[in-house]
Structure formats: C-alpha cells, structure tokens
Amino acid sequence: MREVSKFTVVTEGTVTTPQGFQAGGLHCGLKKTTRNDLGAIVCEVPAVAAAVYTLNVFQAAPLKVTRESIASSGQRLRAIIVNSGNANACTGKQGEEDAYAMRAAAAEAFGVRPEEVAVASTGVIGELLPMDRVNAGIQGLPAVLTAGADGAEEFCQAILTTDLVKKEVCVKLNVNGREVSIAGAAKGSGMIHPNMATMLGFVTTDAVIKPEALQALLGMTTDATFNMITVDGDTSTNDMLLAMSSGLAGNEALTPEHPDWESFVAGFGYVCEFLAKAIARDGEGASRLVEVNVEGAVSDLSARAIAKTVIGSSLVKSAVFGADANWGRIIAAVGRAGEPVNPETVDISLGSIPVLTDSRPISFDEEEALAYLQGDTVVIHVHLHNGEGRATAWGCDLTYDYVRINAAYRT
C-alpha cells in the first residue's frame, strides 16, 4: 500500500488561511443583542464550489437560492453571505424574494455576479427578514473584509446562534510539493441531527480540485462526520455545508487518481470531523462530549444506524449528564435500532472500563466509572461481534440547560 503523507493542523489557522479568501462580519440588527449577525466569505477568484443540503421537506429559501447559484455558475462561487438570528424558513414567496434580494445585494457589494453568491440563514423559523437591516448590513461588509485572522473571527461570530464558542479549524498538507490549506467554520447548536448536511458549515481550500471530485469528497466526508452527530434528533430546515476551493495553491488538479488524493481526503476529513465534534460538544446545554464507537456490525451502514440510535437516546444522554454508568440504557438503545444484532454477543465499555461482555453484566469499580463519566469527554464502545462494520457518532449529554434554552428560545 502506498504511504499516505501527513497533514498538519495549523493552530492559528482560519477560513482565510487558504489563499484567495477574505472574511468579515458585523451586527446589522437581526439579533437582539449586539453580537454579529451578518457575515461573508469572499474569494478573489471564482472558487470551485460544492454543497450538501438538509433532507428536511421544508427547505429554507436560502437553500433554494444557493442550489440555483451553484447549478447556474458551473459550480463556481465568489462569495457566501450568511445571516444568523432568522432562518428565513417557512416564509413563503416573500422569503424566497428576500433570499434572492440578499444574493443580489451581496453581488453588488462584492462586485461579482449574483449566480456566484451563495446564501445561508440560521435562526428562528417563520419570520420574515427585516430586509432594510440586512441590506444596510451588506453595504457595510466590504469595508470589514480582511484576509487576516480578525476578519475570520468576525465571520465565525456572525454565524452563531445559541452556540457558546466558535468552531474553526485549519490544516496544511503538500500536494505535488505545493503547500495546500483546508480550513472550515461551522455553527450549531440546536435542531442538530443532520441528514446529508449540518446546520451551517463552510470549508475553504486553495487546492486545485475538479468540481466533481470536490462534490464527491464533500458528500462522502459528510456521511462520516456531520451526518454522525446529533444534539436533539431534530433535523433543521436550514442545514447546509458549503466548500469553496480557490485553486491558488497551483497544484495539479486533484481527482481520486491524483497521487496525493488520500492526503487531501485525510486533511479534508479532519477538518469536517473537527467541526462536527465541535458542534456536538457545544450542543445546547451540553456539559460533555459523548462519542459512540460501534464495531462488529454487519456493515458500516448498520453500525452508523446503531451508533446514531445510542447517541440520540434521551435516557443515555441523561445518564451521561448524571455520570451514571447505566449501561442498561445503552444496550436498550442498541436493541431498538432496527439493525441486526446478536443478543448474546454484545460487549460494552465506558472508556477503558468494560461493563458488559457477551451481553452479560460484569462487575466494575463504580468509583472509577464515576470519575471517568465526570470527565470532559465520554467514549462508549459497543462491539457486536457480528461482522466487520464500524462507525463513530458524536453527541452530548441532556442537561437542565437544554430544557431551559429550548423552553424559552422564541419568547
């Protein structure tokens, strides 16, 4: 087997680290606080673009507009305009007109064609955008765009809703001896149970890559990363993951046949997995990250279904919040996933502490389990001994704060 070259995490990297990208954000009045609520990423050249969208029947207006842009521009984008505080979903014909108006205003402000602009929105469903504020905000964006870390920081802040922390990551690797960067930013943190895409995620890279290769890579990577997280089992109307590649690194165009393809896939996967885990860890009200590893399923798909059932169980999530080694709830979730499971051969461990072997309880040190479950990250290992399928899912615990946040979100 050919050796896969390494990628390096760029500690201070941002979505503007890849060559050709600027970003920025500001407050235009969609959020009641003074936090940023409008942001943009702009590329100095037409970037190869790819996107995946929510499978919710009620897709928000911006998704329709973005899909149309990417289709009519030959899969090229120059800019992404994003607002938080209002999802522009279930807003009917006026909502669609507003999304097109956002696209047109951004195109004019950035000096690009409308079909080179993607639009994304996140926030409350069912309210019309105050377009006077949005338009005024867009006019102000060109002045705040920078290629430095400050513009990326403002952008990351602008896309957050109930998120507590920004989610950003960057890696570097060599392609044909050229340095290539891949960076990403994303936001959560409720209505998170992505199906083909997550809330909002943006990946930038300066690698030269064929459009169809980028789209295929994005879909494949999403299935193993963003589609493997859940906060509350609710799939949003606005989920969208967008990737833009400026090509300014000047490498030979990446395709699956390229000798450095696997390095690029690994780096791209790292970026997406990092963001997905960051969303899970910052899930509404979460006090810890939960990871569920399923091995020995009849297939990877089956392992994914089981891992997502366990990570989504309200009872498992409550037990993790209470640091309770309640493996009975884990096995009950495994058993209701609707996937082939041999009821006699399941092993479960919490971190490195085995609690179940061959579907039978084994005694463990409750103190040790308590200490482990009180940590920052809880890893649940499930081995089915029923095949070669494996998968990992990420989520968070269910806390009082989740209830508090969501009992009072709109009011």
* Catalytic residue annotation: 198
Q: Is 57 in the site for a copy of itself (CB under 8 A)?
A: yes
What residue ranges in 238-280 does DSSP mark as E strands? 240-245
Q: Is 400 in the site for a copy of itself (CB under 8 A)?
A: yes
Q: Backbone dihedral region of 391: left (phi > 0), alpha (psi from -120 to 50 degrees) or beta? A: beta
Q: Is 55 in the site for a copy of itself (CB under 8 A)?
A: yes
Is 198 annotated as ligand-binding? yes
Residue 95 tokens, joined: 């909502």
Q: Which of 19, 56, 215, 245 binds a copy of itself (CB under 8 A)?
A: 56
Q: Is 90 in the site for a copy of itself (CB under 8 A)?
A: yes
| CA-to-CA dists, residue 1 to 4, 175, 221, 272, angstroms | 9, 19, 22, 25
Least gap, CB of 89 to a copy of itself (angstroms)? 7
Q: Which of 20, 190, 201, 267 binds a copy of itself (CB under 8 A)?
A: 190
Q: Which stretch binds a copy of itself (CB under 8 A): 12-20, 152-160, 169-177, 233-241?
A: 233-241
Pick 22 or 230: Cβ nearer a copy of itself: 230
Pick 193 or 281: Cβ nearer a copy of itself: 193
Residue 256 tokens, joined: 């699956």
State whether residue 70 is helix, strand or coil.
Answer: helix
State whether residue 406 is helix, strand or coil.
Answer: helix
Q: Is 332 in the site for a copy of itself (CB under 8 A)?
A: yes
Q: How many residues bind a copy of itself (CB under 8 A)?
A: 63
Q: Which stretch binds a copy of itself (CB under 8 A): 69-77, 89-97, 176-184, 270-278?
A: 89-97
Pick 276 or 319: Cβ nearer a copy of itself: 319
Least gap, CB of 87 to a copy of itself (angstroms)? 7
| CA-to-CA dists, residue 113 to 21, 74, 110, angstroms | 17, 13, 9
What type of residue is 352? Answer: S
What type of residue is 92? Answer: G
Is 97 annotated as ligand-binding? no
Q: Which of 17, 313, 349, 392 binds a copy of itself (CB under 8 A)?
A: 313
Looking at the chain, how many residues does it have?
411
Q: Is 336 in the site for a copy of itself (CB under 8 A)?
A: yes
Q: Is 327 in the site for a copy of itself (CB under 8 A)?
A: yes
Q: What is the DSSP letter of 229?
A: B
| CA-to-CA dists, residue 74 to 46, 68, 185, 248, angstroms | 10, 10, 24, 18
Least gap, CB of 343 to a copy of itself (angstroms)? 5
Identify any residues that bridge with 349 across adjacent strands, giving them in sequence order: 354, 381
Is 392 annotated as ligand-binding? no
Least gap, CB of 280 to a copy of itself (angstroms)? 15
- Beta pairing class for 200-205 and 38-53: unpaired
Per the CB < 8 A criterion, the answer to whether 328 and 315 are in contact is no
Question: Cβ atoms within 10 A of the Cβ of 150, count?
Answer: 14
Q: Is 328 in the site for a copy of itself (CB under 8 A)?
A: yes
What type of residue is 326? Answer: N
Residue 341 tokens, joined: 């499971």
Is 212 annotated as ligand-binding? no
Is 284 annotated as ligand-binding? yes
Q: Is 30 in the site for a copy of itself (CB under 8 A)?
A: no
Quick one: three-class SS letters along 32-57?
CCCCCCEEEEEEEEEEEEEEEECCCC
Q: Is 361 in the site for a copy of itself (CB under 8 A)?
A: yes
Per the CB < 8 A criterion, the answer to whether 296 and 389 are in contact is yes
Pick 221 or 230: Cβ nearer a copy of itself: 230
Binding site for a copy of itself (CB under 8 A): 55-59, 87, 89-92, 124-127, 190-191, 193, 195, 232-237, 312-315, 318-319, 321-322, 324-329, 331-336, 341, 343, 356, 359-361, 398-400, 402-411
Residues annotated within the binding site for substrate are: 161, 187, 198, 284, 406, 411
